[in-house]
Amino acid sequence: MQKNEVKKSNDNFFMNIVRNQMFIPLLALAILALFNLIADPGFIKISIKENNMGNPVLSGFLITVLDSGSELAILAIGMTLVTAASGGQDISVGAAVAIAGSVLLRILRGAGTGNFGAMLLVAFLVSCIVAMLFGAFNGVLVAYFKIQPMIATLILYTAGRSIAAWINNNELPVISDPFLGYFGGFIPGIPIPTPFFIAIICVVVIFLVLKFTNLGLYTQTVGINENSARLNGLNPKMIKVISFVVLGLCVAVVGLIKVSRISTINYSVIAKDIEMDAILAVALGGNALGGGKFNMAASIFGAYVIQFLTQTLYKFKVSADALPAYKAVVVIVLVVISAPAVKEWMGNMTKKFKVKEVA
Amino acid sequence: MLRKKVAMLLAVAMVAATVVGCGGGESKTDAPADDAAKTEEPAAEDAEADADAEAPAADGELIKVGIINNDPNESGYRTANVEDLKAMFTEENGYDAQFQYSLKNDEQITYAKQMITDGIDYLLLSAADTAGWDPVLQDAQAAGTKVILFDRTIDASEDLYEASIVSDMPAEGARAVEWLAGQGLDEYNIIHIQGVMGSAAQVGRTGALDEKVAAEDNWTLVSQQTAEWNAEKAQQIVQSVIDSGEKFNVIYAENDDMAKGAVAALDAANITHGVGKDVIIMGFDCNKWALKELLNQNWNYDGQCNPFQAEYIDDVIKQLENGEEIAEKTIILEEKGFDATEITQEDIDQYGIGEE
């Protein structure tokens, strides 16, 4: 009798782990780490080097992942909210990043001489406003005109990069001020890549917002059942628009990092296909792509796991052209695992297994 | 529901991939979006050069030309190309020109038909796509309109056009590789960053390097990957090589943007680059800012892809007007490669495209 009970609690323990939303991204990370470890045990090594400006910086495979995965993590925050509230995804974030970056450069270019830091702040605030307006545009299409999110955002997906080019008269200004480079590189004296810091700030802010406001609860309520949310006095339309506006803010932050990385912009390729990775991060985090409940931490973690995957593929010299194919495999596995039919089948299997054991 | 959505997501991704793929494939202009700026100086120079030459229609009758080009916003290369044509085909130079721009082949065909109906003397064409031009060109022939292709070739019989003025992409690659071989390094450990796979610029610029690496024992490709003309991807690719600890001493990037991304990765890892430094940096396109890097000896080589084609077209038209035969249908644009140790500010002013 007692033995049985112990077993039961053991079962529960395992089931809890497996059911935990962090399980899938953690498993994926473990598999990737194992691959890397077999191929090159040195991948885990982190060393301090000097960069060309003479500042000490951390360097190594893992630092690269943290560095270049940060944009994705920031976008995953917004994408998670949009997914939860609207039950669909925004595929225009890459194009929106181009717009935000273009606005930023346009203002910096017109700044002339003066306090560069102050101008950068102004430019960043304006690009935030522009990106949030475009987010609101998407949100209104989805919430008020009831257009499927993917279709609604297809508009900006198609037009966004042209708009970005138009904002700067098709010119590609190169801003050589070293201060701009801090946001995509290193701040002198701090050996940790700045994008990672920015990502941490964003993560902290969103967790505070989720903890101290009802945004998270309301978003989930709207995502689970819009009608009952409305009957309970929420305004589902507003919640959806807000989720898109938050994503817009994330886009502006990413725009700053991207522009800072190479101190210029290339409208047709900046942040290309980043929307696919952001959506994948949300899916990898175990969030239902059909809306409803969400787990922010899992999405953000998922984003870094995806960057880990990308960087691993680069390391194995997989052609960048073939990367989407590998990611597609991940998508397929995820979708199959979370499909209701498979879940039911797995449930049955475990039940049968248990019955056998008892017998 | 979930599966439907993901299926849709994949479908959208695929559509996007195709669209982008075609764009890159057609794009002869190596740089999908460099600076789209105005290269007024070189264009103006061309115009002056032409003013010195005799005007083809001294008797006051203008030659009617219809010019169909790709969208000037496509890239800095294209903008420079369009400005150059505009400066050449003016009334002062004896031309009555109409311009139409589109990145879509069917729109271009519609424009062409319209122009032929308008009774133009010459149709100057930079086609968006290689296919579908036979009927239009046959119409042109029937109407007595002479066709001159510039910048891009098409799949049509040679009888249907008078001349084709194009860049020789394989030669651009060969010139760069020859320059690299001339540097006399003991070992060539190359990171090769490619453009969008299948585009004319990528195929041409990759070919020569691949051959050389296969032929020489001391030439090795440390990494050969496509960054799709994208500076950030180039940065990540180079970063991954640095992280893996492999040794390299050459970065061969197929356009300036990607070379810039690669250099950003080197800067972060304290690897010196440029003339007399650890790593040789090679780019293509001759953007002004890139040539500036050469002048400052931060980069070593930049290969040109010549957008200044108006003078060549003008020559062909003059020959035809004088009743001369065009000796070679395919006219190859003269192009250069710049070495950081030899480049001057004048070169930047004359050959650079886009903004500084």
Tens-digit pLDDT profile for residues B249-288: 999 999 998 999 999 999 888 899 999 999 999 999 898 8
Which pLDDT belongs to residue B172? Answer: 92
- In A, residues 128-187, which contact B (CB 8 Å cutoff)? 150, 154, 157, 162, 165, 169-174, 185-186
CB of A339 within 8 Å of a chain B CB? The answer is yes
Model confidence pLDDT, tens digit, residues B20-76:
333 333 333 344 444 433 334 444 444 444 444 444 444 568 899 999 998 776 677
| Mean pLDDT computed over every residue of chain A | 87
CB contact under 8 A, A267 and B33: yes
Tallying the residues shown for chain A, one arrives at 359
pTM recorded for the entire structure:
0.78
| Spatial distance between the Cα atoms of A122 and A105, rounded to a whole number of angstroms | 11
The two tokens of residue A4 are 């049985």
Check: CB of residue A105 under 8 Å from CB of residue A168.
yes
Which pLDDT belongs to residue A231? Answer: 93
Lowest mean pLDDT among A2-6, A345-349, B168-172, B310-314: A2-6
Which pLDDT belongs to residue A304? Answer: 94
Residue B199: closest CA among B349, B325, B24: B24
Angle (nearest 5°) at CA A122 between A118 and A128: 145
Q: Which amino acid type is present at position B218?
A: N
Top-confidence residue, A124 or B30: A124
- Whether residue A292 is predicted with pLDDT greater than 60 in this model: the reply is yes
Q: What is the mean pLDDT of each run of 10 residues along chain B (356 residues)?
A: 55 47 37 40 44 48 90 76 90 91 87 92 88 90 92 85 89 94 93 86 90 94 88 90 90 93 90 93 92 93 91 91 86 91 92 79
Check: CB of residue A19 under 8 Å from CB of residue A295.
no
For residue A233, give how far its alpha carbon lies from the nearest alpha carbon of chain B (Å): 27
| Spatial distance between the Cα atoms of A242 and A246, rounded to a whole number of angstroms | 6
Read off the pLDDT band of A222 (50, 70, 90): very high
Top-confidence residue, A294 or B19: A294
SS (H, E, C) chain B: CHHHHHHHHHHHHHHHHHHHHHHHHHCCCCCCCCCCCCCHHHHHHHHHHHHHCCCCCCCCCCEEEEEEECCHHHCHHHHHHHHHHHHHCCCCCCEEEEEEECCCHHHHHHHHHHHHHCCCCEEEECCCCCCCCHHHHHHHHHHCCEEEEECCCCCCCHHHCCEEEECCHHHHHHHHHHHHHCCCCCCEEEEEEECCCCCHHHHHHHHHHHHHHHHCCCEEEEEEEECCCCHHHHHHHHHHHHHHCCCCCEEEECCHHHHHHHHHHHHHCCCCECCCCCEEEEEECCEHHHHHHHHCCCCCEEECCCCCCHHHHHHHHHHHHCCCCCCCCEEECCCCEEECCCCCHHHHHHHCECCC
Top-confidence residue, A7 or A135: A135
- Within 8 A of A171 by CB-CB distance, chain B residues are 35-37, 354-355
Long-range contacts of B278-281 (CB under 8 A, 24+ apart): B278/B249, B279/B248, B279/B249, B279/B250, B279/B251, B280/B180, B280/B183, B280/B185, B280/B249, B280/B250, B280/B251, B281/B251, B281/B253
The two tokens of residue B178 are 């020859």
CB contact under 8 A, A339 and B76: no
Question: Cβ of A209: how many Cβ atoms within 10 Å?
Answer: 14
Which pLDDT belongs to residue B259? Answer: 94
CB of B53 within 8 Å of a chain A CB? The answer is no
Q: Does the ipTM exceed 0.85?
A: no
Over residues A53-81, mean pLDDT = 90
